[in-house]
Amino acid sequence: MKKAKIYIPNKNPMQSGLGKTDKWILEFETRDPTRNPLMGWESSSDTLTELKLEFSSKELAMNYAKKNNIDFEIIEPNKRKIIKKSYADNFLK
């Protein structure tokens, strides 16, 4: 049986904006990973691991997985802590 995880990807650490962080991704997990004896790379004959499906909501991703008999795990995003302070606070301490 196919197994997948549904999650929201992290934002790019090189940028401060939150663009493209509202999409839910359904990504299949690797089955039977093997190690290449020459280079030491991990590889697999399972081509589903190369597939990432984007959905606009968590419910759509869950419905797709249920419709296609895919076992799934939902990884909820961590809430970001925003500390509001003024520029003057840098000089008051």
Structure tokens at 59: 């419910």
Q: What is the strand order of the sheet 71-75 is part of?
A: 52-55, 24-28, 3-7, 71-75
Number of independent structural domains in the chain:
1
**Band of the pLDDT at 71, cuts 50, 70, 90?**
very high
Pairing of strands 24-28, 42-43: unpaired
Q: Convert the pLDDT of each residue in 13-67 to its tens digit.
A: 787 777 767 899 999 987 777 887 888 887 777 788 788 999 999 999 999 999 9
Q: What is the identity of the amino acid at 3?
A: K
* Within-domain flag for 84: yes
CATH number at residue 59: 3.30.160
Other C-beta atoms closer than 10 Å to the C-beta of 45 total 9
Question: Helix or strand or coil: residue 4?
Answer: strand
* Within-domain flag for 15: no
Q: What is the identity of the amino acid at 56?
A: S
Range of the domain at 66: 3-10+22-35+42-92
